[in-house]
Structure 1
């Protein structure tokens, strides 16, 4: 056999043995920990975040196999977690709040918090050439309030209720099959406005980057006071200047924190492992996705309605690093 061919065979054998050594430990195969992650419909912020989360986590720990799956969003992710059909799921603040407290005609949930994702200040976007400049201007107009099953329409419903407005009576409400359908409806005139939330939200970015450009509409200072007087769980939040193309000033609004929730019976060691890996790569996740810069251990403790709602495995890690006692 020619020397070169033999050398290639020897190299291949060495690589195979090396691979076997990695896959074997004490004579036993090392299996990855599969984690099914529920996001939302394509085109929204949750799939964007979920894909970045999975990519960074899987790269940081080869023993993790986090698999993002598109769902209908927050309102589907909670029951899927309760049924054990998801291991972890992305859930907006308002559906999480209702589930934790047993509001909106449902019993209290037993799902737990893995981490806070990011804050979600709510606002509308309209075309810059439109006549709409306030929330009251949008009354009677067709407004896309987000995807069916997502948390966005719940946030808008609370905010509008705080202003004495009814979402499905005072507006021509549009609920989307896909979150990504909303921007086109604003740009071609089928909708006067699109409701959304947060920093780096894809729908806002599409409208703001279009030739028509964007104008953002959020509650004014007096309106924020009225909203919080009725719904105190909503917090004052700010969208920093420059978060979207053409947005030269900070925008004050109200909203809440979205969470990565986990099924109640997720083993403690798995939750601990997820938390340790996640908070070890906070900087990498921040570099991957701007809004993920808020995904920190400190923000999780601050955003949780009650520390007891955080999964015990996560709390074990937080105690080790001194975040909680």
Structure 2
């Protein structure tokens, strides 16, 4: 009899970003909840590499931001991907962070300035490209772009004055937490900017960052963004996906204790954030049906 747990490899991103924070928390919560599973996280270059590793069957599951997932599913700049959604994990509103002594109040105030956009392979960095494009700006030619080796480098560059702003996304994003703890502040979008962006890129959704989401943030911030996912390789066993989805659901309280963004990791959100049912892994669909999540046939 084999009592060894089923190992699941979970790709995250570079140290210092939101994906390693979330991935480690999710792995620990799932492993505690279902000892028959052993989720092991692996640092990667981020969403773009995670898609490649999943397609090569070198990872079982991986965290992928909404924009790279959208491009992969739609076949934008690459062949259409058939990777499957295991869970929608959290929404990612894109924003800039500046130092407390910055005079910048809007995106337009940052045009021509040095910006830390994140790592090249990060979905957050790609979100910045789409948001700027929706505003009629180019992420590289209308700013002085800085692309990072590690997500954690950005807040240091901002603190030292080497960049005027850090682009990032999410609620509880580590880079923004570090910047706002040091007295920095966040810059979102005006309502007409959101409308303009969504006219061009309607897969981006309006998201409000509640007041108090970050240190010193006294007002809600308007932004746009998308849902990040845990995606699974196409060949992932149906039973494994079912067991993982069930454990992640049952581990919800443990997950939220470890990472605030885990509050959005619910089966209902997986259904709502998926482009269609065919994109959801069959094992996860079976769990959603067992749980009687709305609209599952």
**TM-score normalised to structure 2 length:** 0.98
1:216 Cα deviation after fit: 1.0
Partners in 1 of 2:175 and 2:47 — Cα distance? 17
1:137 and 2:109 correspond: yes
Which residue of the partner structure matches residue 118 of structure 2?
146
Contact 2:179–2:185 (CA under 8 A) maintained in structure 1 = no
Question: What SS is found at the alignment partner of 1:190?
Answer: coil
Q: 2:215 aligns with which of 245, 250, 253?
A: 245
Which residue of the partner structure matches residue 177 of structure 2?
205
1:155 and 2:155 correspond: no
Contact 2:189–2:221 (CA under 8 A) maintained in structure 1 = no
1:277 Cα deviation after fit: 1.0
Partners in 1 of 2:245 and 2:166 — Cα distance? 35
Runs (4+) off by over 2 Å = none
1:248 Cα deviation after fit: 0.5
Q: 1:271 aligns with which of 235, 241, 251?
A: 241
Uncovered stretches (5+) of structure 1, i.e. residues with no partner? 1-27
1:176 and 2:148 correspond: yes
**Greater gyration radius:** 1
Partners in 2 of 1:132 and 1:220 — Cα distance? 14
1:115 Cα deviation after fit: 0.3
1:258 and 2:231 correspond: no
Higher relative contact order (CA 8 A, sep 6+): 2
1:287 Cα deviation after fit: 2.0
> For residues 210-249 of structure 1, what are the structure 2 equivalents within 5 Å?
210=182, 213-249=183-219
Partners in 2 of 1:280 and 1:62 — Cα distance? 13
Instruction: Give the count of matched residue pairs.
Output: 295
Aligned CA-pair RMSD: 0.7
1:147 Cα deviation after fit: 1.3
1:57 and 2:30 correspond: yes
**TM-score normalised to structure 1 length:** 0.90
Uncovered stretches (5+) of structure 2, i.e. residues with no partner? none
Q: 2:8 aligns with which of 24, 32, 35?
A: 35
* 1:49-93 C-alpha deviation (Å, 9 max, x unpaired): 000001011111111111100000001000100000000000000
1:283 Cα deviation after fit: 2.0
Partners in 2 of 1:107 and 1:148 — Cα distance? 20
Question: What SS is found at the alignment partner of 1:266?
Answer: coil
Partners in 2 of 1:79 and 1:185 — Cα distance? 30
* 1:11-67 C-alpha deviation (Å, 9 max, x unpaired): xxxxxxxxxxxxxxxxx1312111111000000000000000010111111111111
Question: What SS is found at the alignment partner of 2:167?
Answer: strand
1:316 and 2:286 correspond: yes
Which residue of the partner structure matches residue 66 of structure 2?
93
Which residue of the partner structure matches residue 161 of structure 2?
189
Partners in 1 of 2:221 and 2:188 — Cα distance? 7
1:284 and 2:216 correspond: no
* 1:208-228 C-alpha deviation (Å, 9 max, x unpaired): 111xx1121111111001000
Partners in 1 of 2:288 and 2:184 — Cα distance? 41
Question: What SS is found at the alignment partner of 1:167?
Answer: coil
